[in-house]
Amino acid sequence: MLVRFTKMHGLGNDFLVLDTVTQKVKVNSAMVARLADRNFGVGFDQMLIVEPPTDPDMDFRYRIFNADGSEVEHCGNGARCFAKYVRDKRLTAKETVAVETQQGPIYLTITQDRQVVVDMGVPVLEPQKIPFSADQQAVTYPIEVAGQIQQISAVSMGNPHGVLVVDAVDTAPVETWGPALECDPKFPAKANIGFMEVVSGAEIRLRVFERGAGETKACGTGACAAVVAGRLRGLLDQKVTVHLPGGTLLIEWAGEGEPLIMTGPATTVYEGQIFL
C-alpha cells in the first residue's frame, strides 16, 4: 500500500506526519520503529498521527509514537507541526484548532507571522499523577544517579518529566545520566529528563533526553517542564526564553493552577510516499 507522508521538524525535533483522515492506514509499533530507522527507513524522533476526532467538540485527534514504537501522551514540538500540517493540507481553515490527545484537549493557534501558539494545559505536580514515587509533593526530590544524590523536579505535561539544574548544559552528563534517570524506578512510566542551565530569570538553556527517543534537538513539553521547575524553585520569571540545541521557544506560566503557553515555529521539510 502506497501511503503519503510529510517530514517536518520543530527546532530540529523531527517528525513523520501521517494523515489518517483522508487515507486508511493502520499504525503499529513495529511499523513505527521500522520507519524511524535513519539508515533503512525515513528517520524521525516521533511519528505524528492525524485522526478524526472521537469527541464532536474537537477538530482532530492527535497521537504520538516515539522512534522505538512506544505511544506517548504529548509532544509540544509535534503539536506545533500538527497545527501547521492541518492548515497547510486544508484539513481545516480555523486559526485555532481544538485537538484531542491521550491527556485531554489542547488548543493550537497559528499567528500572522506563522508562529504556532500552543495552550499546553496545566502542569501536574502531584507525584502519583505524574507518576513519580514520593510520599508527598515537593519542589524537588532527592534521586541517586552515578553514585551521587541529585535534586530533581518532577512534573507532568501530559507526559512525565524530571528536571535537573546544572551549571552548564554544554558539559552536563546528558549521555550517561539521561538514560539512567529515564528508567529510574522513581519514574514507573519512565520519564523525559531535562538538564537546565539558568542564564537569568528570563532565559534558560536546556537539553532534554527524551523517553524512547534519546537526546533530541528540542522538546516542547520539556521546555514547559523546565520553566515550571525553575519557577517553583524561585529561579525564573513568568515569561522565559528557552534556548534548545535546535532553536528557541517562548514559554509563559503565571503559576500553579494556570496553563502554560508555548510559542515557536514549525517547519515542513519534504513530502513523500512509501510502501507499507
pLDDT in tens, 113-163: 889 999 999 999 999 999 999 999 999 999 999 999 999 999 999 899 999
Q: Is 39 annotated as a binding residue?
A: no
Distance in angstroms (rounded) separating the CA atoms of residues 176 and 181:
9
The contacts of residue 265 (CB under 8 Å, 6+ apart) are: 10, 11, 80, 114, 115, 116, 247
- 273 labelled binding-site residue: no
66 is in an annotated binding site: yes
The C-alpha cell that represents 93 in the structure block: 481553515
Domains of the chain, with CATH numbers?
A: 2-110+266-275 (3.10.310.10), 127-258 (3.10.310.10)
State the catalytic residues.
Answer: 75, 219
Is 188 strand, coil or helix?
Answer: coil
pLDDT category, 74, cuts 50, 70, 90? confident
Q: Residues 216, 76: contact at Cβ < 8 Å?
A: no
Q: Checking phi first, is residue 234 left (phi over 0); if not, alpha (psi -120 to 50) or beta?
A: left
Q: What is the pTM of this model?
A: 0.88
Model confidence at 260, in pLDDT bands (50, 70, 90)?
A: very high
Q: Is position 220 annotated in a ligand binding site?
A: yes
pLDDT of residue 264: 96
Closest residue by Cα to residue 218 from 34, 39, 7, 9:
9
Ordered DSSP codes for 49-66: EEE--SSTT-SEEEEEEE
Is 28 annotated as ligand-binding?
no
Using DSSP's 3-state secondary structure scheme, residue 226 falls into: helix
What are the C-alpha distances in Å from 201 to residues 193, 205, 222? 21, 12, 18
Amino acid at 184: D
